[in-house]
Amino acid sequence: MKRKILFWALLALCFCTKDLSAQVRAEAGRLTVGGYGEVALTRNFFSDNVYRYSHPGNYKEDKGHGRFDIPHAVIYLGYDFGKGWSMQTEIEFEHTGTGTAVEKEYTEAGEWESEIEKGGEVELEQFWIQKSFAPAFNVRMGHLVVPVGGLNHAHEPLNFFTVYRPEGEYTILPSTWHDTGISLWGEAGSWRYEALLVAGLDAFMFNRDNFVKYGAGSPYEFKVANNYGFAARIDNRSFRDLRLSLSGYAGNSMHNSYPNDMQGTRYADIKGTTLIGAFDFAYTGAHFIARGNADYGYVGDASTISTVKRNLSSNNAPYKKTPVGRSAFAAGVEAGYDFLHLMGAKEDKLFLFGRYEYYNPYIPAADQQAYTYTGRHRMAVGLNWFPLPQIAVKAEYSHRFLQSQYNNEPSVSIGVAYMGFFNK
């Protein structure tokens, strides 16, 4: 009798284990784990002194400087709950994250102090929950990537040839631009669309050298949303291997800071209307790749915003102090050709590439001071070796060309990057 009981118990355990294993495999199939990262080593053959543009003659013979960095390291986690519900998170460590340390300071009466040991950022770049009703209609709510411009649409390191992100868009636009809000998106045939409602940009975070780049951030534990921003993107893939895209943003950026204490002042009616339009494309053939972008941005009331920021900076307010221009522009194109396929290689790829771009983050209004160093041309040439589709080893020589009264800025960089999903 005991043997029969033991037999049936073992048989039941086998069936339960089989069902449990199937359930575990099913659950694992719903989980997506991935990420990307990049390491960059650079030697700049120009001065890094903060006065190199105001007194360029003093730094003409500077021997340069070197920088080693991990610009981005990102972890993706996604899960499909079923019935059209899914979620995704993206945690990003920029420049290896932040670092603090506690130490006993003997030069100050033996006090314990907490000090910043290194710079960097840790950010939750995406956190959204999605309901999919049909391929043409999906709704996301949470912290979203705002896909304005080619770089924000495809910011992972295998989507550009240069060691660092393309400089023009990276300079004038938030990158990666992410904010909290609602997104509607869908695909139909050769078309994909996305429309977003997010918290508006903050005019007090705009500046001379980066236009609206820092306007999507916040120095507080919350994001001020007195004003709202509207963004949209349309992609078309009617032609083989070619994507053509238009994207844009519109919203008022004044009075989107904390505290909102300008009601009843002479600045109460200043809106700071911010408009951005962008075109980008990507051709991805078997052995030839070409990408390009053109971006234009406009800030209304730029002179007034610059004046208000200057007055606020005296009380240590957490705002950018330099003026913001009325507009900014960035355009660039890159192309690369895989030469290894000519030698019969089937998996390895070696792209010889070139990139050219022009950008200016500060185009002033008629009543604003001009800064002629902000407009610059940049050229880069180099190699991308792909030993595997998920890994690229990069090398490049780049050169920034400024107006003749300034010193040009050449550099050499090497890097390695990966991008992929680990459980596919």
Structure tokens at 369: 């001071």
pTM: 0.89
Q: What was the pLDDT predicted at 113?
A: 63
Do 275 and 302 form a contact (C-beta atoms < 8 A)?
no
Domain membership flag for residue 190 = yes
Predicted local distance difference test score (pLDDT) of residue 90: 95
Average pLDDT over residues 405-410: 95
Is 58 within a domain? no
What is the structure's pLDDT at 311? 79
Has residue 223 been placed in a domain?
yes
* Sign of the alpha-carbon dihedral angle for 215, 220, 221, 225: negative
Q: Is the residue at 264 inside a domain?
A: yes
Which band of pLDDT confidence, cut at 50, 70 and 90, is reported for residue 9?
low
Whether residue 37 is contained in a domain is answered as: no
Give CA angle at 376 (53, 54), nearest 5°: 10
Cβ(372)–Cβ(347) below 8 Å: no
Q: Is residue 153 part of a domain?
A: yes
Task: Summarize pLDDT for 246-282 with one digit per residue, the tens.
Answer: 999 999 999 998 888 777 788 889 999 999 999 999 9
Mean pLDDT of the chain: 89
CATH number, position 147? 2.40.160
pLDDT recorded at residue 411:
97
Work out the pLDDT band at 116, boundaries 50, 70, 90: low
pLDDT score of 13:
47
Tell me the residue range of the domain where 287 lies.
117-388+395-410
Check whether 168 has a pLDDT greater than 50.
Answer: yes
Highest-scoring range by mean pLDDT, 54-63, 101-110, 133-142, 217-226 = 133-142
Number of domains comprising the chain: 1
- Residue 20: its pLDDT value, please? 46
pLDDT digits (tens, 9 = 90+) for 173-225: 998 999 999 999 999 999 999 999 999 999 999 999 999 999 998 888 888 99
pLDDT of 134 strictly over 80: yes
